[in-house]
């Protein structure tokens, strides 16, 4: 009984938090609960949502990807550069940017799977390398003049629905399907739950992990492209700290840091929670430094709740309690 | 017998550096037979089963499956033949549901590429569970099931792989009596269906209840394979133990220790929910009290409870008549209790640090002035103990990991002796230590006892228990079930008490 209660709590924590915040900001500022503002939240947080989805995949399999912010910046800058400097059509430049993101993700995966590096170390290195490459590629200056075709992805709309919203909803639907209906999805959960068992059941553990990192890189690149298009230029310092937001979102959404537990839709709500928090604090004119502090505190709270429910719920599995 | 055996392992030998784990062992299982595999710790049971599972390759010997010679190079090979292992640590993913666990890696394909046919998956899982007479919803996450049912899920998984031989490694060790009954019913049903089972257990009454035949291993050799019908528990214990008692009896003769000396540690009604039950005993000054029992009998847990790693749920611990209030190991240490743990390398030593630092680490505050450690004093002190205990090391600057097991153990003991303990608890003090060093550790224990230290020695080696102790407690299922005089008791007596076999 206590088991299902704790699980219910775990699943609904994010909704409760979100509801509380929405009510709080609606009462304390009169510009929060306005249609345009709500749309803004959905659009402005596209990059957080996309990376949170990728992060969820990686975390479910028992890993973590700290490089998403830098990979987003690098791939955004690369696609922008291919348009502005090399004159490639926007669509081709964007696809190449995504391919680059996939490649960087595979490098992460390779370091973890074949290099046997802890995911934290492998992706922390990539965080540094990709940021350095971004600064080198952009000469530390913004790349602009991207043209309408490129900017459309950040600013355009179809029948009044903003493009970034269309993109992330599509991604969320596809990835949720992938995770819940396919063999690959089941294997991601199995590996995160018990890698040894998965291996014994002849699950292709290495390949599945490579793909999760590859997808995380691709989604980070997509996030970078949307971010670039939305501000009409690729910024060398774009998406700094995005990994923190993505992890916060995933954990708030009930994705376990130990792997094997969580799903994409609630992680998306986790990302929206992060977005609402930022947006509301802006309306309350909270300065940016205190905002970072509050975000940090929220992350700690989320992790503490995660560990607590893990402990309550984990007493039956022998494996979980041994560390 | 004129049928072809399902499995015949012939003259299997396997050596590890320094140990002959298996010496020309034969092992045969007939179709539809429940074969018990019995032996003390280290007798070679698990090595034999790992060879069968393809984890180890035998040095020599041949495996026949249905009369055909086979090579088993990996667990996958074993699985393909129809051999399934159910380990004590269950190989299940706790968060996934029953059906997903049974068919992990072999999901029925759905219409679109890469997808899963969920309907078929749950239907098949349901059928497998029904075959085992198991009333469980295949959509239940495995972690929500009691342990016995989790084991059944493993059995279902084995059956879905069309296993012909299922090896169960101590499947009853964490089950209640009612759950054991359920497991046995399943095992009999499997037998009816022609599936063979290798049943590893220390509990003789269970072996008599369920198995058809028993194979006994001792020190890596086959003692025999016998039908259980007509066999007595005594005969079985004799097969397991074999040798008669006491090669290294170092006890001073003709001294009745208890009557002359003061009690030093008294344990009264000590319980820890579900683990220890109402434990009472007294340890006397200068006494070596041996604690025997099988793995899982609660011996280490008893040591940890006295040392306050885990608080007891009930009961008192008295030191020299004074009731102790212990909340954490630091309290126990302050009271004068020391614990040399079973896990020497993990819990007892800083392997990458020097002998000197390891010995003096417990009393650094005495060796420090203004917060700075006086290393010279520390080394003098360490040298003193190295000499006293005869630790063989080129210098106290040597890194501990470069010492042999026996000398590492002496360093652990030296570390505790710096605190001048009144009670020294040793958990498997000579495990993995060569014979020579073993004798030295025993002499050291005897010497400490003669200085008045009370020693509680947990050991799985019966010759050690009988040869070194002044008195022996036997534990089973978290209780002290017998107290024995090692001069009168035999290994058989201890085994009988430890396994709970009925005396005939």
Q: How far is CA A50 from CA A56, A173, B413, in A?
A: 10, 12, 57
Q: Which of B289, B241, B285 is nearest to B264 (CA)?
A: B285
Its pTM surpasses 0.80: no
Instruction: Delimit the domains of chain B by residue range.
Output: 7-241, 248-336+421-504, 348-418
Q: How do residues A243-257 score in pLDDT, each as one tens digit?
A: 999 999 998 888 988
Interface of A with B in 241-260 (CB under 8 A): 260
Q: Which residue has the higher pLDDT, B314 or A302?
A: B314
Alpha carbons A66 and A83: distance in angstroms, whole number = 28
Any B CB within 8 A of A312 CB:
no
Any B CB within 8 A of A316 CB:
yes
In chain B, which residues have pLDDT < 50? 1, 244-258, 504
CB neighbour list of residue A186: distance below 8 Å, 6 or more residues apart: B96, B100, B104, B107, B116
pLDDT of B392 reads: 87
**Residue A234: strand pairing partners:** A143
Q: Which of B67, B30, B35 is nearest to B48 (CA)?
A: B35
Q: Which of A91, A74, A2 is nearest to A308 (CA)?
A: A2
Closest chain A C-alpha to B214 CA, distance in angstroms: 29
**Dihedral of the alpha carbons of B56, B58, B62, B63, in degrees to the nearest 10:** -20
Tokens 């103990």 found at: B385
Q: Per-residue pLDDT for A285 more than 70?
A: yes
Alpha carbons A143 and A249: distance in angstroms, whole number = 29
Q: How do residues B191-220 score in pLDDT, each as one tens digit?
A: 998 999 999 987 788 899 999 999 999 888
Q: How do residues A271-281 score in pLDDT, each as one tens digit?
A: 999 899 999 99
Alpha carbons B115 and B107: distance in angstroms, whole number = 9
User: In degrees rounded to 5, what are phi and psi of residue B196?
Assistant: -95, 150
Q: Per-residue pLDDT for A320 more than 50?
A: no
Beta strand extents in A104-241 (DSSP E only)? 157-158, 161-162
pLDDT of A304 reads: 80
pLDDT of A221 reads: 98
With an 8 Å Cβ cutoff, are B105 and A184 in contact?
no
Mutate to test the interface with B, among A5, A62, A197 (most CBs of B within 10 A): A197
Residue A249, SS3 per DSSP: helix
Would you give the DSSP letter of residue B97?
Answer: B
Q: Which residues of A touch B75 (CB under 8 A)?
A: 200
User: In degrees rounded to 5, what are phi and psi of residue B135?
Assistant: -95, 80
pLDDT of B18 reads: 67
Closest to A201 (Cβ–Cβ): which among B105, B110, B143? B105
Alpha helices per DSSP H over B140-268: 147-160, 177-192, 204-210, 233-241, 257-260
Alpha carbons B28 and B8: distance in angstroms, whole number = 4
With an 8 Å Cβ cutoff, are A194 and B75 in contact?
no
Tokens 């002190």 found at: B381
Mutate to test the interface with B, among A174, A186, A192, A323 (most CBs of B within 10 A): A186
pLDDT of B181 reads: 86
Spell out a b/e string for A277-297, using b for 16 or more CB atoms within 10 Å of the CB, else e: bbbbbbbeeeeeeeeeeebee
Q: Per-residue pLDDT for A317 more than 50?
A: no
Categorize the per-residue pLDDT at A310 as very low, low, confident or very high, splitting at 50, 70 and 90.
low
Mutate to test the interface with B, among A193, A199, A260 (most CBs of B within 10 A): A193
Would you give the DSSP letter of residue B324?
Answer: P
Q: Which residues of A touch B91 (CB under 8 A)?
A: 194, 196-197, 200-201
Alpha carbons A264 and A272: distance in angstroms, whole number = 12
Q: Per-residue pLDDT for A2 more than 60?
A: no
Q: Which of B183, B171, B209, B409 is nearest to B296 (CA)?
A: B171
Alpha carbons B442 and B17: distance in angstroms, whole number = 25
Task: Please tell me if the domain spanning B7-241 has the same topology as the one spanning B248-336+421-504.
Answer: yes
Q: CA-based angle A238:A239:A244, to the nearest 5?
A: 160
Q: Fold for B7-241, please state it.
A: Rossmann fold (3.40.50)
Average pLDDT, chain A: 90
Alpha helices per DSSP H over B349-421: 355-360, 364-367, 375-389, 405-417
Q: Which residues of B touch A261 (CB under 8 A)?
A: 95
Alpha carbons B14 and B494: distance in angstroms, whole number = 30
Q: How do residues A56-107 score in pLDDT, each as one tens digit?
A: 999 999 999 999 999 999 999 999 999 999 999 999 999 999 999 999 999 9
pLDDT of A151 reads: 95
Q: Residue B428: count other Cβ atoms within 10 Å of its Cβ.
A: 22
Largest CA distance in chain A: 62
With an 8 Å Cβ cutoff, are A320 and B116 in contact?
no
pLDDT of B248 reads: 40
CATH classification of B248-336+421-504 is 3.40.50.300, yes or no? yes
Alpha carbons B382 and A49: distance in angstroms, whole number = 60
With an 8 Å Cβ cutoff, are A198 and B114 in contact?
no
Quote the tokens at residue B88. 């004590």
pLDDT of A10 reads: 57
CB neighbour list of residue B425: distance below 8 Å, 6 or more residues apart: B303, B306, B307, B337, B338, B339, B340, B455, B456, B457, B458
Q: Which residues of A touch B93 (CB under 8 A)?
A: 189-190, 193-194, 197-198, 260
Please, are residues A317 and A258 in contact by the beta-carbon 8 Å criterion?
A: no
With an 8 Å Cβ cutoff, are A203 and B104 in contact?
yes
CB-side exposure of B234: number of CA atoms within 13 Å? 3
Cβ-in-10-Å burial (0-12, 13-18, 19+) of A262 comes to buried
**Residue B214: strand pairing partners:** B36, B226
User: In degrees rounded to 5, what are phi and psi of residue A225?
Assistant: -65, -45
User: In degrees rounded to 5, what are phi and psi of residue A271?
Assistant: -65, -40
Alpha carbons B177 and B184: distance in angstroms, whole number = 10
CB neighbour list of residue A243: distance below 8 Å, 6 or more residues apart: A51, A55, A65, A66, A67, A68, A69, A127
pLDDT of B51 reads: 94
pLDDT of A202 reads: 85
Residue B60, SS3 per DSSP: strand
Please, are residues B442 and B429 in contact by the beta-carbon 8 Å criterion?
A: no
Alpha carbons A25 and A38: distance in angstroms, whole number = 12
Q: Which residues of A touch B95 (CB under 8 A)?
A: 189, 193, 260-261
Q: What is the DSSP string of B133-146?
A: T----TTSBGGGS-
Closest to A317 (Cβ–Cβ): which among B94, B104, B110? B94
Tokens 């006295």 found at: B306
Any B CB within 8 A of A2 CB:
no
Alpha carbons A312 and B103: distance in angstroms, whole number = 28
Q: Residue A258: count other Cβ atoms within 10 Å of its Cβ.
A: 16
pLDDT of B205 reads: 82
pLDDT of B16 reads: 79
Closest chain B C-alpha to A320 CA, distance in angstroms: 9
First-last CA distance in chain A = 25
């Amino acid at each position: 009984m206590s088991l299902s209660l704790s699980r219910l709590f775990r699943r609904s924590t994010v909704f409760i938090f979100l509801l509380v915040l929405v009510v709080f900001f609606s009462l304390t500022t009169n510009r929060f609960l306005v249609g345009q503002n709500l749309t803004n939240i959905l659009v402005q947080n596209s990059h957080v949502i996309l990376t949170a989805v990728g992060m969820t995949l990686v975390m479910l399999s028992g890993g973590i990807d700290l490089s998403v912010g830098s990979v987003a910046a690098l791939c955004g800058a690369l696609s922008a550069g291919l348009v502005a400097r090399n004159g490639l059509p926007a669509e081709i430049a964007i696809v190449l940017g995504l391919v680059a993101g996939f490649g960087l993700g595979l490098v992460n995966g390779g370091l973890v799977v074949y290099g046997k590096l802890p995911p934290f170390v492998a992706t922390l290195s990539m965080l540094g390398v990709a940021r350095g490459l971004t600064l080198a590629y952009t000469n530390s200056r913004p790349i602009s003049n991207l043209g309408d075709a490129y900017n459309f992805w950040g600013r355009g709309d179809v029948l009044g629905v903003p493009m970034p919203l269309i993109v992330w909803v599509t991604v969320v639907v596809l990835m949720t399907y992938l995770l819940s209906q396919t063999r690959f999805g089941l294997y991601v959960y199995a590996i995160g739950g018990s890698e040894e068992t998965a291996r014994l059941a002849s699950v292709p553990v290495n390949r599945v992990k490579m793909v999760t990192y590859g997808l995380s890189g691709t989604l980070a690149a997509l996030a970078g492209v949307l971010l670039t298009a939305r501000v009409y230029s690729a910024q060398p310092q774009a998406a700094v700290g995005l990994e923190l937001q993505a992890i916060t979102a995933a954990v708030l959404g009930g994705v376990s840091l130990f792997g094997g537990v969580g799903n994409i839709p609630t992680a998306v709500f986790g990302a929206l929670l992060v977005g609402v928090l930022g947006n509301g604090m802006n309306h309350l004119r909270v300065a940016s430094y205190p905002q970072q502090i509050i975000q940090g505190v929220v992350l700690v709270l989320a992790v503490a709740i995660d560990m607590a429910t893990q402990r309550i719920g984990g007493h039956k599995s022998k494996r979980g309690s041994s560390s | 017998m004129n049928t072809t055996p399902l499995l015949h392992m012939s003259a299997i030998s396997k050596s590890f550096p320094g140990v002959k784990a298996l010496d020309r062992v034969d092992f045969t299982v007939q179709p539809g037979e429940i074969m018990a595999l019995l032996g003390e710790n280290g007798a070679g049971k698990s090595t034999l089963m790992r060879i069968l599972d393809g984890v180890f390759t035998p040095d020599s010997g041949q495996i026949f499956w249905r009369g055909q010679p086979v090579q088993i190079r990996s667990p996958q090979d074993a699985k393909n033949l129809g051999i399934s292992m159910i380990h004590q640590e269950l190989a299940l993913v706790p968060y996934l549901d029953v059906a997903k666990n049974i068919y992990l890696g072999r999901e029925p394909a759905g219409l679109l590429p890469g997808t899963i046919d969920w309907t078929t998956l749950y239907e098949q899982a349901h059928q497998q569970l029904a075959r085992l007479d198991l009333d469980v919803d295949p959509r239940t996450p495995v972690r929500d099931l009691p342990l016995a049912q989790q084991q059944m899920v493993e059995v279902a998984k084995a059956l879905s792989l069309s296993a012909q031989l299922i090896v169960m490694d101590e499947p009853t060790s964490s089950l209640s009596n009612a759950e054991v009954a359920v497991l046995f019913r399943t095992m009999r049903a499997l037998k009816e269906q022609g599936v063979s089972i290798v049943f590893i257990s220390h509990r003789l009454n269970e072996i008599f209840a369920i198995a058809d035949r028993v194979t006994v291993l001792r020190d890596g050799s086959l003692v025999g394979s016998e039908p259980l019908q007509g066999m007595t528990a005594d005969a079985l214990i004799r097969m397991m133990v074999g040798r008669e008692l006491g090669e290294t009896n170092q006890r001073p003769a003709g001294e009745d220790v208890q009557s002359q000396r003061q009690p030093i540690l008294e344990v009264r009604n000590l319980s820890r929910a579900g683990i220890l039950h109402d434990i009472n005993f007294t340890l006397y000054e200068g006494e070596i009290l041996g604690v025997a029992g099988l793995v899982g009998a609660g011996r280490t847990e008893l040591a940890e409870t006295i040392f306050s790693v885990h608080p007891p749920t009930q009961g008192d611990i008295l030191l020299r008549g004074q009731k102790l209030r212990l909340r954490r190991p630091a309290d126990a240490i302050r009271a004068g209790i020391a614990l040399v743990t079973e896990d020497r390398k993990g819990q007892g030593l800083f392997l990458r640090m020097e002998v000197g630092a390891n010995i003096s680490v417990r009393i650094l505050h005495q060796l420090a002035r203004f917060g700075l450690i006086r290393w010279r004093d520390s080394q003098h002190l360490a040298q003193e103990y190295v000499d006293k205990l005869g630790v063989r090391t080129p210098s106290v600057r040597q890194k501990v990991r470069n010492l042999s097991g026996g000398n590492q153990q002496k360093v652990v003991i030296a570390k505790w002796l710096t605190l001048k303990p009144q009670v020294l608890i040793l958990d498997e003090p000579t495990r993995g230590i060569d014979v020579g060093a073993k004798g030295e550790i025993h002499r050291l224990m005897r010497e400490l006892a003669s200085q008045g230290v009370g020693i509680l020695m947990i050991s799985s080696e019966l010759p050690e228990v009988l040869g070194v102790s002044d008195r022996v407690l036997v534990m089973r299922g978290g209780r002290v079930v017998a107290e024995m005089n090692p001069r009168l008791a035999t290994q058989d007596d201890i085994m009988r008490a430890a396994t709970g076999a009925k005396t005939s």
